[in-house]
Amino acid sequence: MSAARRRSTSAKTEAVIPARPFHYGTGAGRDLLCDQVRLAQLAKEYGTPLYVYSATSIRQRVQMFADAFAGMRHTLCYSVKANSNLSILRMLADFGTGFDIVSGGELERVRVAAKALLDRVVFSGVGKTAAEIDAALAAKILVFNVESAAELDLLEQRARHLLKRAPVAMRVNPDVFAATHPYISTGMSEHKFGVEMGTAYALYQRAARSKYLEPTGVSVHIGSQIRSAEPFGQALQRVSELVRELKSQGIDIQHIDAGGGLGISYQLEDSETFDPQAAVNAYARQVREALAGFEGELLLEPGRFIIAQAGALLTQVLHEKRNGNKTFVVTDAGMNDLIRPSLYQAYHAILPLRRDTKRKMAVVDVVGPVCETGDFFARDRELPELTAGDFLAVLDAGAYGMSLSSNYNSRARAAEVLVNGRTHRLIRRRETLREMLTQERGLPSK
C-alpha cells in the first residue's frame, strides 16, 4: 500500500504470527477452529463442500507488506485471480490496496467492489481484447502492463479511437530462473509472457513518440510460488538497469511493478518453521537493494501469499472403499471444487475437523466423486481412520481454489464463508442446479 494513502489495518504486526488461522482448540478442545469459530459448526450450518476464509489472516498478511516496505513509496495491488470474491475485494479495498487484474471480468469485479479505487488497477495478461481495453480506458486505470508489440498496437488504436491517452508499462522478461512448477514459471525467454529486454527498449521509444500512449512504468513477474527471495532481486536488478537507460533517453519512469509470486509453505510440518513475516522481510530486502536509488513508486502484486493460507475447503466423507491394497476415502468435494492437486500435483494438508487420538492411522487416497482418475486431494496420505459423515479440512485452499472451480460433471459450485474472530457470514451462497442451467436454451419455465 502507498505509505501516504495507507489506512490503518491493525496494530503493529506481532513478532510471530502463525502461518495458518486453522488450529485445534487448546486444553480439552478437540475441534478444528478458524480463528475462534468451530469449523464443524460451519459445515453443518452451510453444508459442504464449503470454502472458509479468515479475515484476520488476510488483514495480517496485508500488514506484513506495509511493515516490510515502510518508508518506501509503494502500492500493494492484490492479484484478483487468486480469489475474486466481492466481499474479499471490498475488505482489501478497506485496507487501502490496489488491484492487479488480467481480464475485463476482473475489472468489473473491482468496479463493483471498489469503484473509487479503479485508479489503482494494474491490467496484466497476454490476451487483452479491444472491448477489455476500452473498458479499462474508460475506467481510467493506473496502467496497462503491455506484453507484446501487437498489444501495444491495439492499445494505441483503441486510445486513438476513444481520444484518450493510455498509461503503459512494458512487462519485461528478465530471463531469470525461479524454482517453481513449470506451469507457473513465467520469467524465462521460453515462456509466453513479457517481452525481451532489448525489444522492450524499442517499444518504449515507440510509445514515447505516440500521442495516445504514455510510458509510465516497467513491469516484471517471474512466476508464482517462489520460496527464495534471490530471484526477485536478480530480476529487479535488470529492471533497474533498463529504467536508468530509459531515463537517459528522456523517458520518465514513474513506477516499477515488481509483480507477485512470493510463495508459501503448503507442508503442515513446516508450520513451526515457516515465518510469513520473515519471508516478506527477506523479499523486501532484495527489492530494496535492487532498486536502490529509484525514487518512483513500487507496485507489488501478491495474491497467493495474501489469501492462500487464510482459506480451507471443508468436505464430508461419503464412504470408504478398497480396491486391492488401496484404500480410498471418498468425499463430497471434487476436482471441480479444488483442481490444484490434479492440475499441479499440488500438496494440500488435510485435517479432520475433530481430533481423536484414539483412532488408528491409515494410509489412504482422499478422492472426490468426479468421473476422473485425476480427481484426488491426496495420494498415499497417512490420516486417522475415517468413517462416513466425518468432516475434513483441505488447508491452504484460499488461493486458486474457488477461482479455478467449475461445473464439471454438472456439479454446483461451493458456498463461501468469511470468519472474523468469533463471527462469520456467508459471502457466496451455494449455486443451485437451476442457476447452472439458466444460460442454456431449452430450460423449461418454472
What pLDDT, in 10s, does the model give residues 169-186?
999 988 765 544 343 344
Q: Answer for the pair 171, 220: CB distance below 8 angstroms, yes or no.
A: yes
Q: Answer for the pair 53, 426: CB distance below 8 angstroms, yes or no.
A: no
Is 426 contained in some domain?
A: no
Residue 377 or 184, more confident:
377
Instruction: List, in order, residues 6 or more apart from 244 with CB less than 8 Å away.
Output: none
- Note the pLDDT of residue 174: 82
Mean pLDDT of the chain: 91
Number of domains making up the chain: 1
Segment among 3-12, 127-136, 358-367 with least mean pLDDT = 3-12
Residue 12 or 341, more confident:
341
Distance of alpha carbon 24 from alpha carbon 26, whole angstroms: 6
Parallel, antiparallel or unpaired: strands 391-395 and 311-323: antiparallel
Is 115 contained in some domain?
A: yes
pLDDT mean over 352-378 = 95
Asked whether residue 269 carries a pLDDT value surpassing 90, the answer given is no
Three-state secondary structure readout of the chain = CCCCCCCCCCCCCCCCCCCCCEEECCCCCCEEEECCEEHHHHHHHHCCCEEEEEHHHHHHHHHHHHHHCCCCCEEEEEEHHHCCCHHHHHHHHHCCCEEEECCHHHHHHHHHHHHHHHHHEEECCCCCCHHHHHHHHHHCCCEEEECCHHHHHHHHHHHHHHCCCEEEEEEEECCCCCCCCHHHECCCCCCCCCEEHHHHHHHHHHHHHCCCEEEEEEECCCECCECCCHHHHHHHHHHHHHHHHHHHCCCCCCEEECCCCECCCCCHHHCCCCCHHHHHHHHHHHHHHHCCCCCCEEEECCCHHHHHHHEEEEEEEEEEEEECCEEEEEECCCCCCCCHHHHHCCCCCEEECECCCCCCEEEEEEECCCCCCCCEEEEEEEEECCCCCCEEEEECCCCCCHHHCCCHHHCCCCEEEEEECCEEEEEECCCCHHHHHCCCCCCCCC
What pLDDT, in 10s, does the model give residues 233-255?
999 999 999 999 999 999 999 99
pLDDT mean over 305-315 = 98
Is 128 contained in some domain?
A: yes
pLDDT mean over 417-432 = 98
Asked whether residue 26 carries a pLDDT value surpassing 90, the answer given is no
- pLDDT winner (highest mean) among 171-175, 218-222, 420-424: 420-424
- Note the pLDDT of residue 289: 96
- Note the pLDDT of residue 180: 44
Q: How confident is the model at residue 446 (pLDDT cuts 50, 70, 90)?
A: low
- Note the pLDDT of residue 442: 74
From 222, 232, 301, 231, select the one nearest 260 (Cα to Cα). Answer: 301
pLDDT mean over 102-126 = 97
Asked whether residue 145 carries a pLDDT value surpassing 90, the answer given is yes
- pLDDT over 70 percentage in the chain: 90
- Note the pLDDT of residue 445: 66
Is 246 contained in some domain?
A: yes
Segment among 3-17, 122-136, 328-342 with least mean pLDDT = 3-17
Residues annotated as catalytic are 371
- Note the pLDDT of residue 364: 98
Is 425 contained in some domain?
A: no
From 101, 13, 36, 64, select the one nearest 306 (Cα to Cα). Answer: 64
Asked whether residue 187 carries a pLDDT value surpassing 50, the answer given is no
Q: How confident is the model at residue 74 (pLDDT cuts 50, 70, 90)?
A: very high
Cell of 233: 532481486
CATH assignment of the domain containing 138: 3.20.20.10
From 119, 41, 78, 135, select the one nearest 308 (Cα to Cα). Answer: 78
- Note the pLDDT of residue 343: 93
What pLDDT, in 10s, does the model give residues 199-213?
899 999 999 999 999
Instruction: List, in order, residues 6 or more apart from 370 with CB less than 8 Å away.
Output: 334, 335, 336, 408, 409, 411
- Residue 209's domain spans which residues? 55-303
| Degrees to nearest 5, angle at CA 35 with 29 and 41 | 65
- Note the pLDDT of residue 193: 59
For residue 264, report the phi and psi dihedrals to the nearest 5 degrees: -120, 175
